[in-house]
Amino acid sequence: MSNIALNQNGEQTTTTTGETEERVLTEWTNYEFDDETKLAVSDLDVYYGNDHALKGVSMDIPEKSVTALIGPSGCGKSTFLRCLNRMNDRIDAAAIDGSVTLDGEEIYQDGVNLVELRKRVGMVFQSPNPFPKSIRDNISYGPRKHGDIRTGLLARLLDDDDREAESDLVERSLRDAALWDEVSDRLGDNALGLSGGQQQRLCIARCLAVNPEVILMDEPASALDPIATAKIEELIESLADEYTVVVVTHNMQQAARISDQTAVFLTGGELVEYDRTEKIFEDPDSQRVEEYITGKFG
Ligand SMILES: Nc1ncnc2c1ncn2[C@@H]1O[C@H](COP(=O)(O)OP(=O)(O)OP(=O)(O)O)[C@@H](O)[C@H]1O
Ligand SMILES: [Mg+2]
């Protein structure tokens, strides 16, 4: 079997050994949905030097739902996710071409305030990364930085102390991240003393504290045990009532359990198929997607 496939332009692309030859059809990625579009990505290309990591990816992401991104290692899932809040801008080697809109507004244009963008489109990483500070300070750090609450010595001297607002915010964020009951009696303790699963929920709470609209998660449960993973999965599903969640996962059962729609990226940085999650897992159009989800490669 050859390991050559054709992309949308009919060009040959090398694929992982074991993948079948196949031309990707545009209709496979044209997922239609009834809800409002939160993020619209069109013709997105990302290069790291000569490495063409994402090739002409277009997909619209509906608001208040869970979108899963799956695919074999190196296919560009994290790269794609980082494009959604311009985190790739921080990588010197990365060159990005194409368009991403948030509520219809282009995020790749001059004058976009990146701090504000990343407040609206927050991110949770694979390994929990709490600050070496108290649980309370981990949550209130962002809102303080953005000027949403004022606490501390200066605020007290200026008689501008929002201690009560801070407590409310800390409690609400921890409740929304399903962590409050486990930590309410030790908010002053160092966050690094929490378990891995608790630390990850704390990072989600920290993200929620600045009132995001979109939450990007890159394999948020891959470093966790099954019980902690189940809690994160349950949390992700509940967050979709209020937020637009985009989650990268290596775990296909997890994608099937928690997401409303699934995008499958395959070798070479192509988006091959994007549809309702049941459709992707039960009856995909692409033979390569079928082979990937049934474990034939990847
Ligand atoms: N900072 C970087 N500098 C150079 N190349 C990079 C960088 N980040 C990613 N790449 C390359 O871009 C391609 C896609 O990588 P990416 O991390 O997006 O894949 P992924 O699908 O998230 O993989 P994994 O499942 O292993 O996390 C790979 O070929 C990778 O080597
Ligand atoms: Mg990745």
Check pocket membership of 75 for ligand 1, CB cut-off 6 A: yes
Residues 6+ apart with CB under 8 A from 115: 146
Give the whole-angstrom CA distance, residue 244 versus residue 205. Answer: 15
Residue 123 pLDDT exceeds 70: yes
Ligand 1 atom having least distance to the Cα of 265: 21
Give the whole-angstrom CA distance, residue 292 versus residue 252. Answer: 10
- Ligand 2 geometric centre to CA of 251 (Å): 12
- Ligand 1 geometric centre to CA of 165 (Å): 41
Helix (H) or strand (E) holding 252: helix 252-258
Please give the pLDDT value at position 12: 47
For ligand 1, atom 9: residue with the closest CA:
79
Please give the pLDDT value at position 16: 53
Better-scored residue on pLDDT, 205 or 18 = 205
Q: Which amino acid is at 213?
A: E
Q: What ranges do the domains of the chain cover?
A: 25-293
Range scoring the smallest mean pLDDT among 40-44, 153-157, 185-189, 266-270: 153-157
What's the token pair of residue 153?
A: 């010595």
Residue 1: band (very low, low, confident or very high) from pLDDT cuts 50, 70, 90: very low
Residue 276 pLDDT exceeds 80: yes
Give the whole-angstrom CA distance, residue 191 versus residue 187. Answer: 9
Please give the pLDDT value at position 118: 96
Residue 146 pLDDT exceeds 90: no
Mean pLDDT of the region 107-124: 96
Please give the pLDDT value at position 154: 75
Residue 247 pLDDT exceeds 50: yes
Query: What average pLDDT does the chain have?
Result: 91
For ligand 1, atom 11: residue with the closest CA:
53
Strands (E), 79-180: 94-102, 105-106, 121-124
Which residue from 203, 253, 197, 188 is spatially nearest to 225, judged by alpha carbons? 197
66-76 per-position pLDDT tens digit: 999 999 999 99
**DSSP-based three-state secondary structure for 222:** coil
Q: Give the DSSP per-residue string, 105-120.
A: EESSSTT--HHHHHHH
Please give the pLDDT value at position 162: 75
Mean pLDDT of the region 105-109: 97
Residue 2 pLDDT exceeds 60: no
Residue 150: band (very low, low, confident or very high) from pLDDT cuts 50, 70, 90: confident
Check pocket membership of 18 for ligand 1, CB cut-off 6 A: no
Check pocket membership of 91 for ligand 1, CB cut-off 6 A: yes
Residue 277 pLDDT exceeds 70: yes
Please give the pLDDT value at position 197: 94
- Ligand 1 geometric centre to CA of 74 (Å): 5
Helix (H) or strand (E) holding 69: strand 66-70
Choosing from 45, 54, 75, 79 the residue with most ligand 1 atoms within 8 A of its CB, the one to mutate for a pocket test is 79
Residues of the chain with pLDDT > 70, as a percent, come to 93
Check pocket membership of 88 for ligand 1, CB cut-off 6 A: no
18-65 per-position pLDDT tens digit: 566 788 888 999 999 999 999 999 999 999 999 999 999 999 999 999
Q: Of 17-21, 114-118, 141-145, which one has max mean pLDDT? A: 114-118
Give the whole-angstrom CA distance, residue 219 versus residue 129. Answer: 13
Residue 3 pLDDT exceeds 60: no
For ligand 1, atom 18: residue with the closest CA:
76
Spatial contact of 202 and 177, defined as CB atoms under 8 Å apart: yes
Spatial contact of 75 and 266, defined as CB atoms under 8 Å apart: yes
Check pocket membership of 89 for ligand 1, CB cut-off 6 A: no
Residue 298: band (very low, low, confident or very high) from pLDDT cuts 50, 70, 90: confident
- Ligand 1 geometric centre to CA of 76 (Å): 6
Compute φ and ψ for 96, nearest 5 degrees: -120, 135
Q: Which CATH superfamily is domain 25-293 in?
A: P-loop containing nucleotide triphosphate hydrolases (3.40.50.300)
Residue 17: band (very low, low, confident or very high) from pLDDT cuts 50, 70, 90: low
Please give the pLDDT value at position 82: 97
